[in-house]
A and B are shown apart, each in its own frame.
Chain A
């Protein structure tokens, strides 16, 4: 697992993530309508973890993503690699429900690389619950 979270450059680069399959991205996707650029080109994005789900079909990549995220710290970024295009819909939906931040995606050699930032929980107003 990588160690660096370069949040400022990451957020800057997220604005340049390449939309995969334009027109098929879900509303609200961070990648929607941004300038196509390979975000790894200059190494600005470093995920804290990488999950390779190539060859697996949703919902298996989502299940594996959930399990992996549980072991990560708040604010850390996971890169999910998949070749199932339905993940372009399912992963942002899962993030919206679970409160994680879907950062965007790019495509390279028929594989989709998607980035998810683990939610940062607000302090509970009801301690003990």
Chain B
């Protein structure tokens, strides 16, 4: 067998072994509460969400479902931060960034609002 053939074979085996896999999962509700303590089902209002987090990434069902993009932040030692889309600064849970999340790290905060415009359910969807 030639060295070149052996190299290709070794590379293929290594690639098969090293090929990563990222699956869509939900962050544990307790961890969501720890990271975003102000969001509480049945208590937090839509107005508070918009004032603290800015414009959502997406809206569904006449804005009764809002989504925000969350990135893992290298400078926050891997903690998730929400992309701040508000035009002005101020103290906020969102972190201003112009750098888009890498494809494999596009985590989402999903907020489902009830008829009273309070958060009814929420989750953080992770791509990991």
Decide whether A and B assemble into one complex.
no
Binding site for A on B (CB under 8 A): none
Binding site for B on A (CB under 8 A): none
